[in-house]
Amino acid sequence: DAGVTQSPTHLIKTRGQQVTLRCSPKSGHDTVSWYQQALGQGPQFIFQYYEEEERQRGNFPDRFSGHQFPNYSSELNVNALLLGDSALYLCASSLWANNNEQFFGPGTRLTVL
């Protein structure tokens, strides 16, 4: 049973560019949450998707957007990249009925130059 998978593993972009990160949830899970983890900090909640809709959102600008597909996989898009967007981006999946128990993927390391 595959756990949460994320692609790509690493990514290097330049300021102003756009990036798309992908996540496949654990089998049987229907909810995907995205987090940004800057160096030395804990994961910061970006947003959560369920039934292909954004259900909750953290304190992130509109440059951060997402999508969930009918197979529950999800994408995180970041436009107009800033140097400060460099971080580890974590995807977590769960059941909507039990979102407290989240399973995390290994993350995508984004570097913005």
Partner 1 sequence: DQQVKQNSPSLSVQEGRISILNCDYTNSMFDYFLWYKKYPAEGPTFLISISSIKDKNEDGRFTVFLNKSAKHLSLHIVPSQPGDSAVYFCAASEGTSYDKVIFGPGTSLSVIP
End-to-end CA distance of the chain: 37
- Please pick, from the candidates 2, 28, 71, 97, the single residue that binds partner 1 as defined by CB under 8 A: 97
Q: Is 86 a residue that touches partner 1 (CB under 8 A)? A: no
HSE toward the beta carbon, residue 16, CA cutoff 13 A: 0
- Please pick, from the candidates 102, 110, 111, 113, the single residue that binds partner 1 as defined by CB under 8 A: 102
**Among 101, 78, 89, CA closest to 31:** 101
Binding mask 19-58 for partner 1 (x = CB under 8 A): ------------x-x-x----xxxxxx--x-x----xx-x
Q: Is 100 a residue that touches partner 1 (CB under 8 A)? A: yes
The token duo for 72 is 């529950």
User: Are 45 and 33 spatial neighbours (Cβ–Cβ below 8 Å)?
Assistant: yes
| Residues within the interface to partner 1 (CB under 8 A) | 4, 31, 33, 35, 40-45, 48, 50, 55-56, 58, 90, 92, 96-107
